[in-house]
Amino acid sequence: MMKTVYLVSYDVCDPRRLRLTYKKLCGFGMALQYSVFRCELSAMQRQSLKEQLWDILNLEEDRVMIVNLGPAGARGDECFEFWGNPRMSIPARTAVIV
């Protein structure tokens, strides 16, 4: 399945919803900065993320921005440039063995 890299950032006005949003996004990708995540998602996973975030957020007060950075393994990850200490190592698509 083709996956797409998304940059997801959010403004959430209420501390409880903020915490829930952060936790939820941890299940879909990795935090790059405060309130900024990198998520690598299939179309279905993107829909799941939408459904689950909509259950948490109050869209009258909160906002989410989702930027499509293109297919995983291609430009999607080349367009990142970090100044300072980056918090990203791009996961390869392999089974995890520990």
Least CB distance from residue 90 to other proteins, whole Å? 9
* Tokens (6 digits) for 19: 């915490």
Q: According to CB under 8 A, which one of 27, 65, 75, 82 is a site residue for other proteins? A: 27
Q: According to CB under 8 A, which one of 11, 14, 33, 54 is a site residue for other proteins? A: 54
17 touching other proteins, by CB under 8 A: no
Least CB distance from residue 6 to other proteins, whole Å? 13
Strand 36-41 relative to strand 63-71, pairing? unpaired
93 touching other proteins, by CB under 8 A: yes
What is the SS3 assignment for 66? Answer: strand
**What is the CB neighbour count within 10 angstroms for residue 38?**
23
Residue 43 pairs in a beta bridge with none
